[in-house]
Amino acid sequence: MDKRLRGMISEDDESVAQVGHPAPAWMVNYADLMTEMVCFFVILYAMSAALNKDVQSAAKEVQEMIEAGEVAGNVQMNKEGLIISLEEQGKLSFFASGKSELTQDMRTTLDKMFTVLEKISEKNEIIIEGHTDDIPIKTEEFSSNWDLSTARATEVVKYFVNKGLPPVKMAAIGYGPYRPLVPNISPENRRKNRRVVFFIKTSSGKFQNAAAKEKSVGVQKKNPGH
């Protein structure tokens, strides 16, 4: 007899009492499947954590710009991505009143943002939101604030694409005056509501309005008009 079997009781011995009910054969396959699924989700989580690390680094970089006074606005992270809201400050204006062309101040601001977005644009979708105040506009070029905000967001996208960001990862959305941060009851508040929002998606969910989740920071001064 094999030495390893000495002293062992055979499973066929009638004197051996069976503990519990015998597991069906499919339970083995099911257990293997559950183990594989756990491993799969662990891998997905690790990949997601690595991706979010790049976005978190971008958020930190922009936050440092805000704290240094280089730009005014707010940075916020949520489960869907990074939201960066840029607002006008001091004498800086992003656009001339009623126009969609970028001012030199805006180009300078976007150049700073480009260095951040360039690092994450290959793996993340970037949605640019345009927002105006509530002063109505009706010109030959723009029939409404909605048109104006969309044109402004598109100009920002075109600027980034011309500098090298992948167009397949870019999108422009205009909300006109319909997503204000604060009531449009003063020049200061209107200035706060005239802004450009960057939504960097890190999830596979549907596009969502970043303005509903952002919080404004910084000091704004008078700047009437759009």
pLDDT for 7-55, tens place per residue?
Answer: 555 656 655 555 556 667 666 676 777 777 776 555 555 445 445 788 8
Q: Is the pLDDT of residue 226 over 70?
A: no
Q: What is the mean pLDDT of the chain?
A: 81
Q: Is the pLDDT of residue 200 over 50?
A: yes
73-88 mean pLDDT: 90
Categorize the per-residue pLDDT at 202 as very low, low, confident or very high, splitting at 50, 70 and 90: confident
78-94 mean pLDDT: 88
Categorize the per-residue pLDDT at 224 as very low, low, confident or very high, splitting at 50, 70 and 90: very low
> Which residue(s) pair with 196 in the sheet?
86, 130
pLDDT, residue 92, reads 83
Q: Among 28-42, 61-75, 120-134, whose mean pLDDT is lowest?
A: 28-42
pLDDT, residue 157, reads 98
CA 79, CA 32: separation in Å to the nearest integer? Answer: 31
Structure tokens at 29: 């396959």
Categorize the per-residue pLDDT at 146 as very low, low, confident or very high, splitting at 50, 70 and 90: very high
pLDDT, residue 29, reads 73
pLDDT, residue 53, reads 84
Which CATH superfamily includes the segment(s) 54-212? OmpA-like domain (3.30.1330.60)
pLDDT, residue 220, reads 39
- Residue 156: name the closest of 107, 224, 98, 222 by CA: 107
Categorize the per-residue pLDDT at 78 as very low, low, confident or very high, splitting at 50, 70 and 90: confident
pLDDT, residue 38, reads 73
